C-alpha cells in the first residue's frame, strides 16, 4: 500500500494555543490554476496550497502548454492561453489522489480539439466518474471509463458541445463545476439545478475572471462563448484544514487558539455550525472579503460538547469535515447521529466505515449506518489506527490523542501531503505532541 511506511505517533494529552495560519484552500487553489490557464493575460496567485492534489492540477496544465511560474512560498504566476489555447498532451495526465482535478478537468477537456487520458493513484482509480460523464455525454462529449465507471478516463477531442439544463441527482460541487466548465464551450446556456447548496467557488471565481454567471436560488447558468480575463487571487486558508484544529481546541481542556485568514464561504461553514450546535466556543473576528471570498479569523476555546442529531441541511456544507466532527462526537456527552451522508462512502476512503473502525479501536461505541453513523461519547483509549491512505482520517485521529488515555499510532499517512503539507510541524507548534 502506498505510503504505508509513513506513520504518525501521537502522545496523549496537551492543549492547543497561539495564532496559526493553516495552508491555503484546496478547492480555490485548484480553480485558480484552471481558470488562470484559460484566461487571457497573466494571473498572479498568492496563498496557493502546495499540496500534491493542487500540484497535480498545476502539472496537468503545464502538460497542456501553459507557462506557470512557481509555486514559490504560495506564489504562482500563470500565463493564460485563453479558452482555446490549450495544446494536446503527449502522454496520459496523472492526477494522483485528486478527485477534484479529474472531475473538473473531464468537463473542461470534453470541449477541446485533442484526445486525452486522465489517470490517478489506486484510491482515485476506484472513485465513481459516471456522475460527471453522464451529463457531459448529454452535452455531446465522447468519454470512456472502465466498465465500473472508474478511471482511467479517456476523452475524445473535436466534439461540438450543446448546452443542457441538468438537475443534479446528488449535491456535488465537483459535478456542478464540471458541467459549468464544459458550458463555457457549449452552444447556448448551460444550467445546473442543485438539490442542496454546495460550495460555490467555481461560480465566484468565474465572476472574478469577468465571466457572467447567473445564479437564481439553486439554479446556476453560464452562456457559452465568453472569455476569461486574468486577475489576481489571494487564496484564503482552508476551512477543511482548519477543522482539525477547531475540533482539537474544542475537546482539549484549557485550549485557546486563533486560526487566521480562514475562508468562511457560506457553502463551507457546516463544520462551524455543527460544532456550535454541539456547544463549541467558536467566535469569528475581523470578517472581510478577499477576492470575492469571505474570510475571518476564528477563535476557538475549549468547551463541554454535547451530542446532537446533525441537521441534514448541514451535510453538504460539511462533507469533507465529518472525520474531524466524528472525533468531536466521540468526546461529547451523549449520542451524536448523522444521516443523509451516503456521499462519505465514496470519498478517498469509505469514511463512514474507516472512522467507525478507528473509533471502535479507541474504545468508542460507533455504529455505521448506510448513510451515516451513530456515536456514543466516551473516554478514548490509545491504539493503532489504519487511515486507509486517507489524509482527513489521519489528521482527525491525530487530534483525538488530545483526549486519549494512551498513545495513538496512525498508519499510512503519506497522503496528508495531498491537502496539508507541514501538518505535523504546525500541529506541534500549536501544542499537539506528534511525530512521524
Provide the residue count of the chain.
436
CA 427 to chain CA centroid, Å, is: 20
CB contact set of 113 (below 8 Å; sequence gap of 6+): 88, 157, 158
Q: Residue 117 corresponds to which cell in the numbers above?
A: 487520458
- Nearest to residue 263, comparing CAs of 23, 51, 36, 46? 23
Domain 8-24+237-435 has what CATH class? alpha beta
pLDDT for 164: 98
26-234: which CATH topology? UDP-n-acetylglucosamine1-carboxyvinyl-transferase; Chain (3.65.10)
Q: Checking phi first, is residue 353 left (phi over 0); if not, alpha (psi -120 to 50) or beta?
A: alpha
The segment(s) of the chain belonging to CATH 3.65.10.10 are 8-24+237-435, 26-234
d(CA 388, CA 413): 8
Q: Any idea which residues carry the catalytic annotation?
A: 320
Q: Is 125 left (phi over 0), alpha (psi -120 to 50) or beta?
A: alpha
| Per-residue pLDDT tens listing for the chain (436 residues) | 344 579 999 999 999 999 999 999 999 999 999 999 999 999 999 999 999 999 999 999 999 999 999 999 999 999 999 999 999 999 999 999 999 999 999 999 999 999 999 999 998 999 999 999 999 999 999 999 999 999 999 999 999 999 999 999 988 999 999 999 999 999 999 999 999 888 899 999 999 999 999 999 999 999 999 999 999 999 999 999 999 999 999 999 999 999 999 999 998 999 999 999 999 999 999 999 887 889 999 999 999 999 999 999 999 899 999 999 999 999 999 999 999 999 888 777 799 999 999 999 999 999 999 999 999 999 999 999 999 999 999 999 999 999 999 999 999 999 898 889 899 999 999 999 999 9
Whole-number pLDDT of residue 38: 98
pLDDT of residue 2: 42
Is 23:412 a contact under the CB 8 Å cutoff? Answer: no
What is the model's pLDDT at position 346?
75
Amino acid at each position: 500500500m502506498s505510503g504505508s511506511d509513513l506513520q504518525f505517533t501521537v502522545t496523549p494529552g496537551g492543549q492547543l494555543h497561539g495564532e496559526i495560519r493553516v495552508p491555503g484552500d484546496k478547492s480555490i487553489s485548484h480553480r485558480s490554476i484552471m481558470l488562470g490557464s484559460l484566461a487571457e493575460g497573466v494571473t498572479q496567485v498568492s496563498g496557493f496550497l502546495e499540496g500534491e492534489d493542487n500540484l497535480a492540477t498545476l502539472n496537468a496544465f503545464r502538460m497542456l502548454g501553459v507557462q506557470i511560474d512557481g509555486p514559490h512560498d504560495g506564489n504562482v504566476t500563470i500565463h493564460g492561453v485563453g479558452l482555446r489555447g490549450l495544446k494536446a498532451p503527449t502522454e496520459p495526465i496523472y492526477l494522483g489522489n485528486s478527485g477534484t482535478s479529474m472531475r473538473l478537468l473531464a468537463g473542461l477537456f470534453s470541449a477541446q480539439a485533442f484526445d486525452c487520458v486522465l489517470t490517478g493513484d489506486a484510491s482515485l482509480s476506484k472513485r465513481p466518474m459516471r456522475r460527471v460523464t453522464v451529463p457531459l455525454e448529454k452535452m455531446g462529449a465522447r468519454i470512456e471509463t472502465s466498465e465500473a465507471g472508474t478511471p482511467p478516463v479517456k476523452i475524445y477531442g473535436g466534439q461540438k458541445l450543446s448546452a443542457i439544463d441538468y438537475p443534479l441527482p446528488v449535491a456535488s460541487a465537483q459535478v456542478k463545476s464540471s458541467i459549468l466548465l464544459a458550458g463555457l464551450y457549449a452552444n447556448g446556456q448551460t444550467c445546473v439545478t442543485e438539490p442542496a447548496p454546495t460550495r460555490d467557488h467555481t461560480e465566484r471565481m468565474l465572476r472574478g475572471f469577468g465571466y457572467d454567471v447567473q445564479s437564481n436560488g439553486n439554479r446556476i447558468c453560464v452562456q457559452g462563448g465568453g472569455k476569461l480575463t486574468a486577475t489576481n487571487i489571494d487564496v484564503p486558508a482552508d476551512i477543511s484544514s482548519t477543522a482539525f484544529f477547531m475540533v482539537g481546541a474544542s475537546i482539549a481542556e484549557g485550549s485557546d487558539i486563533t486560526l487566521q485568514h480562514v475562508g468562511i464561504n457560506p457553502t463551507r461553514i457546516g463544520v462551524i455550525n455543527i460544532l456550535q450546535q454541539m456547544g463549541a466556543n467558536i467566535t469569528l473576528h475581523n470578517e472581510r472579503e478577499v477576492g470575492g471570498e469571505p474570510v475571518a479569523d476564528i477563535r476557538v476555546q475549549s468547551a463541554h460538547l454535547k451530542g446532537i442529531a446533525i441537521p441534514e441541511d448541514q451535510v453538504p456544507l460539511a462533507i469533507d469535515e465529518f472525520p474531524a466532527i466524528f472525533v468531536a462526537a466521540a468526546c461529547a456527552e451523549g449520542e451524536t447521529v448523522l444521516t443523509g451522508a451516503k456521499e462519505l462512502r465514496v470519498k478517498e476512503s469509505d469514511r463512514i466505515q474507516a472512522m467507525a473502525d478507528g473509533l471502535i479501536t479507541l474504545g468508542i461505541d460507533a455504529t455505521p449506518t448506510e448513510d451515516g453513523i451513530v456515536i456514543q461519547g466516551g473516554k478514548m483509549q490509545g491504539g493503532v489506527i489504519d487511515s486507509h491512505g486517507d489524509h482527513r482520517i489521519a489528521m482527525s485521529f491525530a487530534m483525538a490523542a488530545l483526549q486519549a488515555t494512551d498513545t495513538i499510532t496512525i498508519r499510512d499517512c503519506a497522503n496528508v501531503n495531498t491537502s496539508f503539507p507541514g501538518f505535523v510541524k504546525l500541529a506541534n507548534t500549536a501544542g499537539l505532541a506528534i511525530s512521524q
